[in-house]
Amino acid sequence: MHILGCGSALPTLKHNASSQIVEIRGKLFMIDCGEGTQIALRRSHIAFARLSTVFLSHLHGDHCLGMIGMISTFGLLGRTQPLRIFAPAEFEPMLRSQLEMFCHNLEYEVEFHAVDTTKQTVIYEDKSLTVETIPLEHRVPCCGYLFREKPSLPHIRREMIDFYQIPVSQINNIKNGADWTTSDGEIIANSRLVRPAEPPRSYAYCSDTRYMPTLHEIVKNVNVLYHESTYANDQLHNAEKYFHTTAEQAAMVARDAQVGQLFLGHYSARYENEEILLDEARKIFAESHLSDEKMVIDVK
């Protein structure tokens, strides 16, 4: 998970507008795309030709104004494979008129998929993962995204394969659970031939939202939770007024969901130093961390 931007509505010289890349088994997915994301992407040296899909949480400028510039740049760089965009339905007419004005010679397709932000649904699936919406409560329709890796096949125990002289042609069968019968008729149980794969991983992105006391049910046990923490406790009234979350509240979600790690982000521009957010979060949930631009988080 690559953090491209973890600031909030007011851009600063320290934090970019919201954007992240989720990288899994060689595939790239983007979540949110604020102004300047294409520059942050370039700075990150991520091989962005592999970016297939963008998920937008909601239609506030700091989460989506970078889309059209990025689409245009991909076109100039010769992209040919389609780019999928998942976003609230109201984004499509805006996107189409921008495409017409700024990208009329695009040589790849921009596929738009409207997202119902009010329901928890699987909206994307491939061989490696599923992506579900997480209904959030913000001033406009908004959802988070929950990435769940599919189970991997187990690892072959090379020494057992060699010992029983099992031919390469059988490896896939064994990975898929087959036992092995030797020429003597002895049956070698599959469990002796493989080591279990790492358990599948999960990552939840929740921004922007007010504190949702039941959110932990949806993000239960995820390995990593990114949860907006626009404010510290001193600004609780603003969190309530603007439908944002304090770091402490984000930590309460993480604690109640028993996640592996919590990453805070979407910081208000008022904090010169976000340590105050971290301190308040860690009092509730020890495995709290600050996001920062250029940070690469290994989800496990």
Residue 126 identity (one-letter amino acid): D
23, 27, 52, 72: residue in contact with its own copies (rule CB under 8 A)? 72
How far is 149 from 21, CA to CA, in rounded Å?
Answer: 15
Phi, psi dihedral angles at 28 (to 5 degrees) = -120, 135
Name the residue nearer to its own copies (CB basis): 40 or 222: 40
- The helix/strand count (H/E) of the chain reads as 11, 17
25, 49, 50, 76: residue in contact with its own copies (rule CB under 8 A)? 76
18, 38, 117, 133: residue in contact with its own copies (rule CB under 8 A)? 38
Name the residue nearer to its own copies (CB basis): 12 or 52: 12
Q: Is 12 in the site for its own copies (CB under 8 A)?
A: yes
Q: Which helix (H) or strand (E) holds 246?
A: none
23, 24, 27, 39: residue in contact with its own copies (rule CB under 8 A)? 39
* Inter-residue contact 280 to 290 (CB < 8 Å): no
Burial 270-279 (b: 16+ CB within 10 A, else e): ebeebeebbe
Name the residue nearer to its own copies (CB basis): 90 or 125: 90
Query: Which pairing describes strands 83-88 and 51-55: parallel, antiparallel, or unpaired?
Result: parallel
Q: Is 69 in the site for its own copies (CB under 8 A)?
A: yes
Among candidate residues 62, 208, 234, 292, the one labeled active-site is 62
234 among known catalytic residues: no
Q: Which residues of this chain interact with its own copies, rule CB under 8 A?
A: 9-13, 35-36, 38-39, 42-43, 59-61, 65-66, 68-69, 72-73, 76-77, 90, 93-94, 97-98, 101-103
